[in-house]
Amino acid sequence: MSSYSIKDLEGFTGIKAHTLRIWEKRYHVLKPQRTSTNIRTYDDEDLKHILNISILNRHGYRISDIIKLSEKEICEKVMQLSQRCADTHSQIENLLMAMIEMDEEIFHESFNQSVFKSGFEDTFRYLIFPFLERVGLLWQSGSITPAQEHFVSNLIRQKLIVAIDSIISPRKPDALHFVLFLPEGEWHEIGLLFTHYLIKKWGHYTLYFGTNLPIETIQPVLEK
């Protein structure tokens, strides 16, 4: 069970800490635990609840109406919204939810919905990369655990690897050769994999060496 500060919730939901406190006071939206010095701490259930509320609120639901709904009704309305009006912000929040809950099904559903609607490339440009930027900020602030970050990164890697593997574009007559790698100490390969996908799709040759490659090992490859 993770523990979050009010600032963490602000980062996840985009709702200002000030507003969260007012919601708590006026509407009893959340009942966070308190430290011995009265600082609020929130758990995963609180975070899920406030993420759902923030989605409804952003879609025009008044906070005073939202609090009259049961947890089940809130979830149903969020599901309806995500099916009917899958805007990028909501999709990013769905992915955040999938990451926090480590729920593969939510991830696949959101991802596939976006691919169906916008295509694979635009899903990465307008959903996955903005999502990863958000993850980066949450990572820096310590709001998410390494396990959560790795969980979602690996799901994204899988999607890219499958997509790369399934490309059957014919090689161009003037196809170029690309050597793809990340230098020593660099492990985050999602951008590199997406580049691999694009280059292969455009009909060029690729040699993919992955992450953390000592630079001196590349020279023989280039000569060969």
Partner DNA sequence: TTTTGTGCTGTGGCAATACA
Partner DNA sequence: TGTATTGCCACAGCACAAAA
Q: Cβ 2 to DNA, closest distance in Å?
A: 15
| 34 vs 172, beta carbon nearer DNA | 34
| 64 vs 70, beta carbon nearer DNA | 64
Q: Cβ 132 to DNA, closest distance in Å?
A: 24
Helices (H), 119-187: 120-123, 129-140, 146-165
Contact 209, 181 (CB under 8 A): yes
Q: What is the DSSP letter of 215?
A: G
Q: SS3 helix, strand, coil % of the chain, rounded to 5?
A: 65, 10, 25
Q: What angle do CA 2, 129, 201 make, to 5 degrees?
A: 135
Q: What is the DSSP letter of 216?
A: G
Alpha-carbon torsion, ordered 130, 131, 133, 135, to 10 deg: 170
Query: What backbone torsions phi and psi does residue 209 show, to the nearest 5 degrees?
Result: -110, 0
Listed residue (93, 79, 211, 95) closest to 148, CA to CA: 95
Q: Cβ 160 to DNA, closest distance in Å?
A: 35
| 22 vs 221, beta carbon nearer DNA | 22
Distance CA 65, CA 186 (A): 48
Distance CA 207, CA 86 (A): 37
- State the residues that interact with DNA by CB under 7 A: 5-7, 15-19, 21-23, 25-27, 35-40, 57, 62-65
Q: Cβ 41 to DNA, closest distance in Å?
A: 8
For residue 187, count other CB atoms closer than 10 A to its CB.
9
Q: Cβ 194 to DNA, closest distance in Å?
A: 33
| 9 vs 127, beta carbon nearer DNA | 9
Q: Cβ 221 to DNA, closest distance in Å?
A: 46
| 40 vs 196, beta carbon nearer DNA | 40
| 35 vs 158, beta carbon nearer DNA | 35
